[in-house]
Every structure is written in structure tokens, then in C-alpha cells.
Amino acid sequence: MQKQRIVLLGPPASGKGTQADLIASAYGIPHVSTGALLRSESSRRTDIGLEADSWISKGLLVPDELVIRIVTTWIEKNGSTFLFDGFPRSVSQAEYLDDFLDSLKAPLDLIIVLELADKEIPRRINDRLSCLQCGATCSGKLDAQVEGAPCPRCRKPLVRRNDDTDEAIERRLEIYRELTMPVVDYYNRTSSELVRRIDAEVGSQSVFTSISKLIS
């Protein structure tokens, strides 16, 4: 049976957003990026967005309570078919998600961990342009895009994210190791039958082929 509730984990720039978009269009599973939801709040200058931005721009995690509020609202509004990209990012978020989904009798059915060598990460981030409106990302080199060019999906200008700076990247990597890698350990302990590791160093189409075999 096709998987319905998927979590996609991996370090910054491991291709979570790209894979989530490919999965969403191939299988119709909504792509929920907490980073993109927070950036959209921030660009609309809502209270949540302004608070979130003060953490995001420093490369720090937004407090659990705020992210959990956004995720809960999303599920209550849109239902329990989703592909989470960038959530959960801490063990307490993972525990919250398990409890909430238990209460809906709709547990996770796949946890994908994208693996990428540390040295690849700054190289990919420095080449990345993003759309703050729709969450699309492009490679400057591979897609021949420049800052300010229209987003290929929604035509808003592409920008460099304010957390794609050298200092913020270092901090995001430390946080990934400290707070998010324990999420992989948590799932290995509690739901090892759902966890699948995928090498993310190969091209995005090969990664997608491997993921497709897990979803359908």
C-alpha cells in the first residue's frame, strides 16, 4: 500500500526539499516544510514569523512550542496525509508527533534518512537560491540561476536565504549533529522497521528512484 505519512530527515542541503517536491508531484502527498512555513510567516511579518526570524537568521532552531503549533494547525486543517521535510528536528518534537498521530490513530509509515558527507554541505549551500514565497530551491550552477531571477515555479524573485551564510551554516550543522541526529536514534529505537537510509550524494533523480521503491 502506498505510504501516506512520511518523515524526511537529513542534514541541511541534503536535498530534502527537492525530493519532497518530486514525491509530492508523483504521489500527491502534500509536502510540508516547516522551514518554508516559517519563512512564509516571516515574509508576511506575522507575530509567529517575526519571532521565528530572530532564531532562523542566527541558524538556531525555532522553539519547539512554536513549530509544534504550526504543525498541529497544518494537520488539523489539511488532514493526516503528509510528507514532513525538516520536522521533527528534536527528540521532543518527535515524541510530540508520535503522541499526536497516535491520538488520530494515524501513525507514521515511513522515515527516510538522507545521508550526505559533511564536506558536501557548505558547497551545496553556497550554490543555493531559494524562493521565500513557494519554498522552491535552485542550484545557481546546475540551473544557471542568479539572485533576483524569477522563481521557476511561482515567478517571485529567487534570493539567498538569510541563514545560508557561513556562520549560520556552521551553527546549523552543529545543531543537526546535537539535536537532530538523536531523532534518527529515537526512531531507530522506537520504530526501526520504518527507518530507511538513502545515500544523498548521488544525483537527485537516482535518489528519487530509490525513494520511490519505498513509497509505493
Q: Assess whether 197 carries a catalytic annotation.
A: no
How many CB atoms are located within 10 Å of the residue 98 CB? 17
Q: Assess whether 45 carries a catalytic annotation.
A: no
Stretch that binds ligand AMP, among 53-61, 74-82, 106-114, 147-155 (CB under 6 A): 53-61
Q: Residue with the closest Cβ to ligand AMP?
A: 35
Q: Give me the amino acid identity at 52.
A: A
- Nearer CB in complex with ligand AMP: 31/172: 172
Which 142-181 residues touch ligand AMP, going by CB under 6 A?
Answer: 163, 172
Which 60-89 residues touch ligand AMP, going by CB under 6 A?
Answer: 60-62, 67, 86-89
131 scored as a contact of ligand AMP (CB under 6 A): no
35 scored as a contact of ligand AMP (CB under 6 A): yes
Per-position x/- string for 89-118, each x denoting binding to ligand AMP as judged by CB under 6 A, each - no binding = x---x-------------------------
Q: Assess whether 89 carries a catalytic annotation.
A: yes
List 172, 177, 189, 197, catalytic entry: 172
Buried b (16+ CB within 10 A) or exposed e, 155-181: eeebeebebbbeebbebbbebbeebbe
15 scored as a contact of ligand AMP (CB under 6 A): no
Q: Assess whether 196 carries a catalytic annotation.
A: no
Task: Report angle CA 209, 106, 102 to the nearest 5 degrees.
Answer: 130
- Nearer CB in complex with ligand AMP: 121/194: 121
* Cis status, amide bond into 122, omega within 30 of 0: no
Phi, psi values for residue 190, rounded to 5°: -95, -25
Provide the CA 131 distance to its chain's centre, in angstroms: 14
Q: Cite the DSSP H helix spans in 57-127.
A: 64-78, 91-103, 120-126
**Half-sphere exposure in the Cβ direction for 30 (13 Å, CA):** 13
Cell (9 digits) for 10: 537529513
- Binding residues for ligand AMP, rule: CB under 6 A, are 12, 33-35, 38, 55-56, 60-62, 67, 86-89, 93, 163, 172
> Which residues belong to the active site?
16, 89, 128, 161, 172
